[in-house]
Amino acid sequence: MFDFKSKASRQLLVLGALTFNVWGIAHGAPLTLKTTVTDISGKTQRLPTPGQKATVLVFIAHDCPISNAYAPEISRIVADYAKRGVRFLVAYAESDFNVVGARKHARAYGFQVPIILDSKFRLSHAAGATVTPEVAILAPDGHNLYRGRIDNRFVSYGKKRAQPSQRDLRDALDAIVAGRPVPHPTTTAIGCFIPE
């Protein structure tokens, strides 16, 4: 298990993230992430969550209009899959956001899952997330089953479809719950950039 407070764990996590960014994205190598994080309520969250078919990390930013536009769909996906063995956590990938702001934003946008502050971007970088919103699905052993967009509603920044024609996160979760391989393990998310 990683403990973000220990220097050796941070160095190993950074090395793993750099290895993933150099080799994983370019060469399709799977990311493995096993760690614990503390949510904004002070509770320890294990990643991946034990006893679940999958753990979904949803990376957002409170001031990203695309993240905010996806809040209702994120809540619908949580409602549809939480009872099917899928655990969700929302991670605010922003350096200058605090617990009070996260609670207020999460309440305003209806997030009823554990909330994490990723203010140093350790979790988002380790998961390979580059924009908000972007999701990473972890298998029970911690390897990455899917990373990318929620759906294809946004064609580019500022340009969107009325309805998505591809629901990538739902397709990935349907496959996982059914015990099948994820059809497209990586997609390109459109959103607000996460600093490197």
Tens digit of each residue's pLDDT (9 = 90 or more) over 25-39: 333 444 678 889 999
Helix, strand, coil shares of the chain as percentages rounded to 5? 35, 25, 40
pLDDT for 31 equals: 62
Q: Which CATH number is correct for 7-193, 3.40.50.280, 3.40.50.2300, 3.40.30.10, 3.20.20.80? A: 3.40.30.10
Count other Cβ atoms within 10 Å, centred on residue 111. Answer: 21
pLDDT for 158 equals: 80
- Going from N- to C-terminal start, the domains of the chain cover 7-193
Percent of the chain with pLDDT over 70: 84
Cα–Cα distance for residue pair 156/195, rounded to 1 Å: 19
Q: Which residues of the chain have pLDDT under 70?
A: 1-31
pLDDT for 3 equals: 46
Q: What is the pTM of this model?
A: 0.84
The token duo for 115 is: 């909330």
